[in-house]
Amino acid sequence: MIATSTILFGVLGLALLGVTILSILLWATNPPKARLRTKNEEFYTHATTDKREPFPSLLDDSSTSKPSISISVIVPAYNETARLPAMLDEAHEYLDQRAAKDAAFAYEIIVVDDGSKDGTSKVALDIARNRAKTTKPAEWARKELRVLTLEKNRKKGGAVTQGMLVSRGEKLIFVDADGATKFSDIEKLEKDLDRVAKKGEGVAVGSRAHMVNTEAVVKRSFVRNFLMYGFHTILYILGISSIKDTQCGFKMVTRNAGRKIFPNMHTEGWIFDVEMLLLAMWAGVPIAETPVTWHEVPGTKMSLISDSVVMLLDLFRIRLNYILGIWKIATPRMKSN
């Protein structure tokens, strides 16, 4: 005879398990929707005229019109007044050299101020105004610096996505504001992108995987490296084993690939790179992994333990929502002009 108490405990245990699983499912499959852009976030201040101009859309061009510039550089920036100017200097120096050599080369930099509290937008806009002063208007059109000021913080993934959605380039790249990656390595990504792209679709991810045994990585703390290996193991289980470094803040996409990826993004946190790569993989977009020169820069905005936990939960959430078909991948509808 089974004692009544055993049955009772069994039933209680099962009920508890059920409730737990149900609440995890409800939590994971009910992520807050990315909020729409506010009215102010649809405009930028033109550095020469000081007028508020509407941003274009990644989906604007009709299929016959060409993208208007060669490269869009998206710089997500939260409280970056200290590090941003040096990063922009390096970027401008490199991009201006290319523009001087090649009359067909045009670029834009879009600083996405992610709801900063330290005046990041003003610092970026002042840099734009100073440059615009010494640049002829026709030249400025090839070298624009625009600032997208998000009124509320979205986190890095949200900032990158919003920047991509207003970009005009044939190739789109996001670059961390800390200047940890050597900016001129952008050329290496372009080469790989041109090599792997099919039907104008491709992704090139900057990678620090080649540095694993070098000083820059070995000198990092034991906890950091332990977390890195743990993270890679989880990615392996999730099916992204082909890419060794998913988290480097230096990734380039062709415009056509960007259109398939960014309108479909849900994840706004640190782990957004993984959703980006999954979307590319599922859409059959070829991905290249390009070794880049990278050095650790002090002042990271990531908190080691709490952000790792959030990243893990977000990974789980991404996977579950796609497996259950709650997040669907839409083919972008082009808005023809």
Ligand X SMILES: *[C@@H]1O[C@H](CO)[C@@H](O)[C@H](O)[C@H]1NC(C)=O
Least distance in Å: CB of 117 to ligand X?
4
Residue 118 touching ligand X (CB under 6 A): yes
Least distance in Å: CB of 11 to ligand X?
47
Q: What is the DSSP letter of 128?
A: H
Site string for ligand X, 180-209 (x = CB under 6 A): ------------------------------
Q: Are 206 and 173 in contact (CB under 8 A)?
A: no
Site string for ligand X, 25-64 (x = CB under 6 A): ----------------------------------------
Torsion angle, alpha carbons of 240, 244, 247, 252, to 10:
-90
Q: Are 319 and 267 in contact (CB under 8 A)?
A: no
Q: Are 2 and 11 in contact (CB under 8 A)?
A: no
79/162 with CB nearer ligand X: 79
Q: Are strands 287-291 and 203-207 parallel, antiparallel or unpaired?
A: parallel
Least distance in Å: CB of 36 to ligand X?
24
Least distance in Å: CB of 116 to ligand X?
6
In one-letter notation, the amino acid at residue 93 is E
Q: Which of residues 212-251 bind ligand X (CB under 6 A)?
A: none
Q: Are 267 and 318 in contact (CB under 8 A)?
A: yes
Least distance in Å: CB of 255 to ligand X?
33
118/296 with CB nearer ligand X: 118
- Non-local (6+) Cβ contacts of 19 within 8 A are none
79/246 with CB nearer ligand X: 79
- Non-local (6+) Cβ contacts of 307 within 8 A are 270
305/323 with CB nearer ligand X: 305
Q: Are strands 69-77 and 107-114 parallel, antiparallel or unpaired?
A: parallel
d(CA 39, CA 327): 26
Residue 117 touching ligand X (CB under 6 A): yes
Q: Are 112 and 152 in contact (CB under 8 A)?
A: no
Residue selected from 79, 121, 207, 254 as contacting ligand X according to rule CB under 6 A: 79
Least distance in Å: CB of 301 to ligand X?
6
**Residues in touch with ligand X (CB under 6 A):** 79, 117-118
